[in-house]
Structure 1
Amino acid sequence: MNRAILLLSHGNLASAMKESVELIAGIQQQLFALCMDDQVTLDSFSRELEAAVNQLLDRYKEIIILADIKGGTPCNAATLQVLKNSRVQVIAGFHLGLVIESCLSPVSPKELLANTSRSICYINPHKY
């Protein structure tokens, strides 16, 4: 599997998620994190992301970007990358199971979503 997984988030969520994944699954050489702080604009984050994407595309066949929330600045910046390069794919709304599956499974992004969406469930036994 020759693809990079790039986590994007507001605050330190992406870095913390990377640490959590590696606590469970061991070091993931293909997993990267890019965090956005409150001083960053869409333009500056887009430039930073483009530089990271270009570096990763030198080493990997494709990149799956996992952004924290749809419509947020990290996701919007990632969408700009999709428009520039067909080797970049974006999924908005990540969770620990999705990131682990992305690192360990060679399936397509659509299959990743199908596989991991089943892991999100309501546990409480009461009916509402």
Structure 2
Amino acid sequence: MKHQVILMSHGSMAKETLNSAKMILGDTLDYPVVSMQADDGIKGTLAKLEEILQTIPEKQPIVIIADLLGGTPANVAVLKSNSDPRIKVVTGLNLGMVLESFFALEDSEIVTRLLDVGVKAVTQPQLENDEEE
């Protein structure tokens, strides 16, 4: 069954990461976003997430990609996943993960794929040196 992906972050990071992904994949990528504002706190962020969850069919699996391990958006997502077994949470939101999620929506191993892409996205690129030293 196709997963529903939800992006969560402090401020507009999730929304703007989604906008960047749309530049690459087009408007076919349209995930709901929870953008926590400074005055939202846990209650406000939870209310935003619950509003989105009400629109998702009861049996559809959900993957939430949150920005920061231990931050309010991720903590709210984990809190909600404790009472809703459809929800899996991944932290470390980045553009590579959002792009990969689009191609993994029907993959039962979507979380593993997202973790793999997320880890590989953090690197120090090296220029290739074609000259002999």
Give the TM-score, by structure 2 length.
Answer: 0.83
Give the counterpart letter for 1:40 in structure 2. Answer: D
Give the counterpart letter for 1:117 in structure 2. Answer: V
Give the counterpart letter for 2:87 in structure 1. Answer: V
Q: C-alpha distance in 2, partners of 1:104/1:30?
A: 13
Number of the residue aligned with 1:36? 36
What is the Cα-based RMSD across aligned positions, in Å? 1.9
Q: Which runs of 5+ in 2 are unaligned?
A: 128-133
Q: Kindly, what percent of the aligned residue pairs are identical? A: 27
Q: C-alpha distance in 2, partners of 1:77/1:97?
A: 23
CA positional deviation for 1:34: 1.3
Tell me the secondary structure at the aligned position of residue 76 of structure 1: helix
8 A contact 2:34–2:45 mirrored in 1:
no
Q: C-alpha distance in 1, partners of 2:56/2:90?
A: 17
Normalized per residue, which structure has more helix?
1
Q: Which runs of 5+ in 1 are unaligned?
A: none
Q: C-alpha distance in 1, partners of 2:122/2:23?
A: 21
8 A contact 1:5–1:102 mirrored in 2:
yes
Give 1 or 2 for the bigger CA radius of gyration: 2
